[in-house]
Amino acid sequence: MVQAIKLNDLKNKKKRNAEEEENESEESEIDISSTDSENEEEKPGEEEIVNIDFDFFSGNPDVDFHALKNLSRQLFGPQESARIQLSNLADLILNSPTTTIKTDGKESDPYCFLSFVDFKANHNSDYAKYLQKVDMRLSTFFKTITDSGNKNCALVLSERLINMPPEVVPPLYKITLEDVTTTLGDDKHYDFYVIVTRKYEVNFDTDEDAMKNKTKDERSKKRVKADEVDYFHEEDRFFEKHAKIHFESEARKGVISSYMILDHEGLVKSIDELETEISTW
C-alpha cells in the first residue's frame, strides 16, 4: 500500500510559552484516513492519505535526551558513533540553539532535530575533539577559527526519522537560525558551519561472504565503480554545491560519511534552493 504524506498547515514558529504549547499539543493529532475497511475493498493503485501536523519546539532536556542520543547514533552510524560520547553530545545539543519536530505535543519524542553548537565555546568538548581527529582539513580549519579573533563557527547536527518529508527542512533551518541570532545578539550569525552527514551506495553488495572472497583490489574497484550514490538528506545535495570544503570517507558497508564546511551565504542559499526545488514537486 502506497502512502502519501500531506503537510497540513506546517507551523513556522515554535511554541514559546507553556500555555501555547499546551493548546497546540491538543491540536497536534495524527489524522489517519484509512482505506482498510472490512466492508470496503482497496482498489489497485489507490493511495492512503496521512495528514500530519508537524510542530516545532525548542530542545527539552526533560524529554528529548534519549531520543537525541538515538538520532545521533543513527546520524553517525554504528562505527563512528562508537567513537563519540553520545550522552555528552546530547547534553551539548540541548545546551545549544536546537529545534525539534514532534507530532504529539511537547512531551512526546522528537522525530527530527537541528542544532547549532558554538565551536569556540565548546572547543574542549568530546565532539569537537572527535572532529579535529577526523581529517587534517578539519583540524586546520578549526585552528584557523581558534586563532581568529573575529570569526566564529557552528557545528551543525541534524537527523530525522527516515519517513520524515524533506518539506520540513527549510522552516526547520529558518527557525533555528533565528534562534542563533537571538542567542548571539545584535543580529549576528555564524561565519561558518561544519556539517557532518551520510550518503549511501544504492547498489551496495550486501553479501558479505561474497565480498570476503574477493581480493582487496577487487573490493576497492567495487567502491570506485559503484553505480550510484544517493543522499539520506535531500538538503545535502545543495550543501555540497555551496560548500567551501567537502570530503568523504571510504564506503563502509555501503555508507559514506560526508563532511562539509559552508559560509553563512552558502548555507542560506542552499536552504533557499531546496525550498524552490520542493515547490516544483
Question: What grid cell was written down for 42?
Answer: 482497496
As a whole number of angstroms, the distance between CA 71 and CA 49 comes to 26
Q: Which residues pair with 199 in a beta bridge?
A: 231, 256
122 alpha-carbon distance from chain centroid: 20
**Pair type for strands 255-263 and 192-201:** antiparallel
pLDDT, position 91: 98
* Full pLDDT tens readout for the chain, 281 residues: 333 334 544 444 454 444 444 444 444 443 434 344 444 455 666 667 777 889 999 999 999 999 999 999 999 998 899 999 999 999 999 999 999 999 999 999 999 999 999 999 999 999 999 999 999 999 999 999 999 889 999 999 999 999 899 999 999 999 999 999 999 999 999 999 999 999 999 887 654 545 555 555 555 444 444 458 999 999 999 999 999 999 999 988 889 999 999 999 999 999 999 999 999 99
Cα end-to-end span (Å), the chain: 21
Sheet with 31-32: strands ordered across: 3-7, 48-52, 31-32
Q: Where are the beta strands (DSSP E) in 98-252?
A: 98-102, 112-118, 153-160, 192-201, 229-231, 245-248
Q: Quickly count: other Cβ atoms within 10 Å of residue 17's Cβ.
A: 7
Question: What grid cell was written down for 184?
Answer: 548571539
Q: Quickly count: other Cβ atoms within 10 Å of residue 218's Cβ.
A: 10
As a whole number of angstroms, the distance between CA 281 and CA 271 comes to 16
Torsion of CA 13, 14, 20, 24, to 10 degrees: 80
48 phi, psi to nearest 5 deg: -95, 125
As a whole number of angstroms, the distance between CA 88 and CA 108 comes to 22
| In 49-195, alpha helices (H) | 65-81, 86-94, 126-134, 136-147, 169-184
pLDDT, position 90: 98
Q: What is the set of domains in the chain, with CATH numbers?
A: 55-202+226-279 (3.40.630)
* Residue from 260, 269, 216 nearest 236 by CA: 260
Tell me 206's DSSP state: -
